[in-house]
Chains A and B, each alone.
Chain A
Amino acid sequence: QVQLQQSGPGLLKPSQTLSLTCAISGDSVSSKLATWNWIRQSPSRGLEWLGRTLYRSRWSVNYAPSVNGRITVTPDTSKNQFSLLLKSVTPEDTAVYYCAREKDWGGTDSWGQGTLVTVSS
């Protein structure tokens, strides 16, 4: 049974960098049968996929156009976890942030507990 445990601060000021980590148990960040994703949810934007990291013969990342240029998703194989950095946050980045595993054959079947991130001066 895969478990994803998120950690990171929930309150930021505008222009700061959001930093979250997702620790994986029951699977490997290096698995060739999964991708490791960050998703956020807010009343105004609904569910929004932000980005992912995956390992096949090499590491790859993909990002949503809406946050491309501000986002970095990084795997950490030594700790079996992956992280999210989102630079220059604004109040519009206020949301619940989730890490999640997508199976290679489709569908996101495991989710972290969610972290409410509030951006406010």
Chain B
Amino acid sequence: DIQMTQSPSSLSASVGDRVTITCRASQDIGIHLAWYQQKPGKLPNLLIYEASTLQSGVPSRVSGSGSGTDFTLTIASLKAEDVATYYCQKYNSPPLTFGGGTKVEVK
């Protein structure tokens, strides 16, 4: 099965910073990758699908890129409300594996 590896596992950045999270697949998954944000005590929220398509209602400071095995989630200018754990998920074929998550904190 394809493994999904996220890095870093956690990061701390200042408001206004550019934040980048990476997700690597152990095999080619094309663009069949989604990103989620989960705030403490809340449900996961879909941010991006097809590697770079922004879900309706997601702010434009969030973007995704990549294809094949290497993917990136970028928050262009970090806000306090972005404190959360971010997950990638592959969906090209089952099992629909999640990455281990990246916890984002504000300094």
Contacts and interface: CB of A to CB of B under 8 A. Distances in A.
Interface residues of A, number: 21
Given A46-B100, A46-B101, A106-B49, A111 B44 contact: yes
Main secondary structure on B side of the interface with A: loop
B49 A105 contact: yes
Interface string B67-107: 00000000000000000000101010011111011000000
- Secondary structure call for the A interface: strand
Contacts of B46: 107-109
Interface of B: 1, 32, 34, 36, 43-44, 46, 48-50, 55, 87, 89, 91, 94-98, 100-101
Interface of A: 37, 46-49, 52, 62-65, 98, 102-103, 105-109, 111, 113-114
